[in-house]
Structure 1
Amino acid sequence: MIHSDEKVRQMARSLLPSKHRKQSRKAREHVHRAARNEVRQELALWLRCNDLEVDVPPCAPWEGAAIHQQVYWRQGGDKVNPFIRWATARTRHLPRESRRSHVRGMLPRGVIGEHALGHLERTPAFEDPVETAWRARHWWRNERQCKGALLDRGEHAQLLRAVLLEPEGHRTFNRYLRERYTLTVTMNDEAPANRKVAALPAHRPLLGVHDVLPFLDSAHDSRHRAWDTLPSPLHWVGWFLRRFKKHRGHIPALRAALEAEGLLRKVSAR
């Protein structure tokens, strides 16, 4: 049995072997590659306009958020439960406000210790109850804002018409719908028998401006509720329009963001 300083070092180092190392490296490379491609396209378009008085356009503004998301996902694969149980047991006799500083004094200095300490900040035994309450309130407020942003049918229709007005907007939206439908069918085929949907509705593309309201009616159709755990076309439309709104209708930036998130396959240029 290991005791004293060697035990502390072993527990701190036990967090390092993340289960998502290889996948995280590939995802990071994919995000950087998509960002570089978008930057090249934006700068080429800016230089082609020959208007150097205009400010340089924002190049791949989504890259930082995508990298942060990958970092959180990689850290989610760390084996933290043994370390959290050990730290909780070692500080059970201390007041809550003194536990974190006590563990910081035991852990080795440097990246390993700071990384291990970061996994304790939001655990029930170490987090400040007041901070937890404020974070829950902030999360609840953001959720209400996000849910209310695109729940209105009129805004759905307005954004869809804006998508159709953009060059390559109609084609990008229908390709996105087709790929989402194909992925959902594959997920349904691979699902266990007790969670499989018997008959999925047929694929429904957006035909044009005249079809915006009928398309939304079909997405809101009650039969889509039978999809159970599978994402419905209404969810697909919401995902696309939220990103379309975030990138202010810029289809190349939207397409690059969807490709970086794995929501759209990247088509190689011929």
Structure 2
Amino acid sequence: MIHSDEKVRQMARSLLPSKHRKQSREARERIHREARQEVRLELAAWVRSGDLEQDVPLLAPWERKEIRMEVRWRRDGDKVMPFIRWATARTRELRREDRLSHVRSLLPRGVIGEHALGHVKHTTAFEDPIEKAWRNRYWLRKQAQRKGALWDRGEQARLLRALIQEPDGQRTFNRFLRERHACASAPRNQGSWPRKGLPPHRPLLGLHDVLPFLDTLTRHPWGNAVRTWGQQEPPAHWVRLFLQRFKAHRGYIPSVRATLEAEGLLERPEKARLWKPPGR
């Protein structure tokens, strides 16, 4: 049995091998790859404009949010319960106000200790009930503010009209729906079809067709603003997926197309074959 400082170090290091480490590395590479591709596209468009007075593009402002969400998902895969039980047992006889500082004094300094302390500071045995109540109140207020940002029929109609105004916007949108429908209608995906069957492919015909197009989408029983995407039936799920990318990339179709291609949701265009003139 291990005791003393070696036991403390072992418990702190036991958090490090996350269960999601392989998927996290792949997701981080994908996020950086999409960001670099968006930067190249925006810089190319800025250079082609020839307007030196125009501001330089923001260069993938969404990357920080995506990385933060990925870090949170990776931390959720840490094996924290053995460490939490050990820290709770070591500080059971202390006052609640002194428990966290005592655990901090036991843990090694550096990234390992701070990482372990971050997992234990919000548990029931260590957290101040007053601070917890204030934090819950903060998140309830933020949730109430987010309700106004949920998408409804008007928001979808506005984005579709803006999409049609962009060059190649309508073509890219219809191509995305066509490829998603072809993929979903494959025999291997028959088990994931809706109960009433997969609806036929319905493209967006133009500005006059925005509202009729939205009428053809299957409404969720909770409303079209539901956040649980997995419970939405196609093609409503596909439309929301494309419009989310369209809004996140500020309506820039090349960035939307590059992101969907990097995520595997849109097929990459075939490379043009090099044509060699005869006799060369």
Q: How high is the TM-score relative to the length of structure 2?
A: 0.79
Q: Which of 201, 215, 218 is 1:217 aligned to?
A: 215
SS of the counterpart of 1:219?
coil
Letter aligned with residue 137 of structure 2? R
SS of the counterpart of 2:198?
coil
Query: Is the Cα contact below 8 Å between 1:35 and 1:60 reproduced in 2?
Result: yes
Deviation (angstroms), 1:253: 3.4
SS of the counterpart of 1:167?
coil
Q: Which of 250, 253, 256 is 2:255 aligned to?
A: 253
Deviation (angstroms), 1:180: 5.5
Q: Distance in 2 between matches of 1:222 and 1:21?
A: 35
Change (3 A) 1:132 1:33: same
Equivalenced residues, count? 263
Match of 1:193 in 2: none
Match of 1:69 in 2: 69
Deviation (angstroms), 1:187: 7.0
Deviates more, 1:81-90 or 1:7-16: 81-90
Q: Which of 188, 191, 195 is 1:189 aligned to?
A: 191
Query: Is the Cα contact below 8 Å between 1:176 and 1:263 reproduced in 2?
Result: no
Offset from partner CA, 1:14-39 (integer Å, 9 cap, x none): 01111122221121111111211111
Looking at CA atoms only, which structure, 1 or 2, has the larger radius of gyration? 2
Change (3 A) 1:121 1:222: closer
Match of 2:265 in 1: 264
Which structure has greater helix proportion? 1
Deviation (angstroms), 1:167: 1.8
SS of the counterpart of 1:264?
coil
Offset from partner CA, 1:37-89 (integer Å, 9 cap, x none): 11112112211222112111111111111122221122221111111111122
Q: Distance in 1 between matches of 2:146 and 2:189?
A: 27
Q: Distance in 1 between matches of 2:215 and 2:52?
A: 46
Q: Percent identity?
A: 60
Unaligned runs of 5+ in 1: 191-195
Query: Is the Cα contact below 8 Å between 1:184 and 1:230 reproduced in 2?
Result: no
Match of 2:129 in 1: 129
Offset from partner CA, 1:203-238 (integer Å, 9 cap, x none): 54332223322222222446899xx96433444434
Change (3 A) 1:178 1:66: farther
Letter aligned with residue 215 of structure 1? F
Query: Is the Cα contact below 8 Å between 2:18 and 2:77 reproduced in 1?
Result: yes
Change (3 A) 1:23 1:97: same
Query: Is the Cα contact below 8 Å between 1:206 and 1:212 reproduced in 2?
Result: no
Change (3 A) 1:268 1:201: closer
Letter aligned with residue 97 of structure 1? E
Deviates more, 1:77-86 or 1:204-213: 204-213
Q: How high is the TM-score relative to the length of structure 1?
A: 0.82
Unaligned runs of 5+ in 2: 224-228, 272-280
Q: Distance in 2 between matches of 1:39 and 1:136?
A: 38
Q: Distance in 1 between matches of 2:140 and 2:63?
A: 26
Q: Which of 204, 207, 222 is 1:207 aligned to?
A: 204
Q: Distance in 2 between matches of 1:100 and 1:137?
A: 23
Query: Is the Cα contact below 8 Å between 1:150 and 1:242 reproduced in 2?
Result: no
Deviation (angstroms), 1:170: 2.0
Match of 2:148 in 1: 148
Q: CA RMSD in A?
A: 3.2
Match of 2:277 in 1: none
Match of 1:107 in 2: 107
